[in-house]
Amino acid sequence: MDHLDQQREYRKIDTSSSSDFRSHCIVRASLVGTEARHRNPGTDLIDNPHSSDTIAELNSGKLLMVDGRRRNGLILIKHFHAEFAGPGAAVGGAFDLDSQEAIPVGDFCLVYLQSPEERQKAFGIRRHWVRLTEQLTAKPAALERSQMLLTQFEQYFDAATVVQIPDRALALLIGVFPQTIRRARQSDR
């Protein structure tokens, strides 16, 4: 077994019951370093929990999608705010070239988009997630916004997952200080 084989772990996933993909199986690769460049659009998953690797994929200009079949998402940290892209949402491409950091949430996985129809649907879902976040910011009181955000995330993910999300990332989503998120977390206990 050579060095590259030691860095790779392949596993086939049956997708024959999925209407989202046209192939019968997807090769899921956990890769180290720059070996990730060989992926085939529309067939491979990017299962990459590291923020720096995810940012590299987003900054490459490729349009990707947060896997719609998992409880996962991606918090994209921009210069002055953050955006949450939940399951099924488009990420990358021209949208996220200004992302400074990407924080995976839940059972995170990105999927290459295969068809124009998939891209259009993913764009619509991204808009949906932006609107949901915008609804949370409509509350004038910062502590109330923070508590609502934590409640929504804990309902969709679980408390153990939400605890792992940095206060700064959640604060940038709804325009509050990280200390406000911390206070909201403490008041929920």
Q: What DSSP assignment string belongs to 38-83?
A: GPPTTT-EE----HHHHHHHHHTT-EEEE-TTSSEEEEEE-SS-EE
pLDDT value at residue 18: 36
Q: Is residue 94 in some structural domain?
A: yes
d(CA 60, CA 170) in angstroms, rounded, equals: 25
pLDDT value at residue 52: 73
Provide the token pair at 53.
Answer: 């690797």
pLDDT value at residue 96: 92
To 10 degrees, the CA torsion angle through 137, 62, 41, 14? Answer: -30
pLDDT value at residue 101: 94
Whether the CB-CB separation of 56 and 8 falls below 8 Å is answered with no
Q: Both 108 and 154 in a single domain?
A: no
pLDDT value at residue 34: 31
Number of structural domains in the chain: 2
- CA proximity to 34, closest of 67, 60, 66: 60
Q: Is residue 132 in some structural domain?
A: no
Q: Both 121 and 143 in a single domain?
A: no
pLDDT per position as a tens digit, 66-107: 999 999 999 999 999 999 999 999 999 988 998 999 999 999
Q: Both 80 and 163 in a single domain?
A: no
d(CA 96, CA 54) in angstroms, rounded, equals: 11
Whether the CB-CB separation of 113 and 147 falls below 8 Å is answered with no
Would the pTM count as exceeding 0.95? no
pLDDT (tens place) for every residue of the chain, 189 residues total: 443 333 333 333 333 333 333 222 222 322 223 333 334 444 445 555 566 778 888 888 889 999 999 999 999 999 999 999 999 999 999 889 989 999 999 999 999 999 999 999 999 999 999 999 999 889 899 999 999 999 999 999 999 999 999 999 999 999 999 999 999 999 876
Q: Both 63 and 151 in a single domain?
A: no
Range of the domain at 164: 137-189
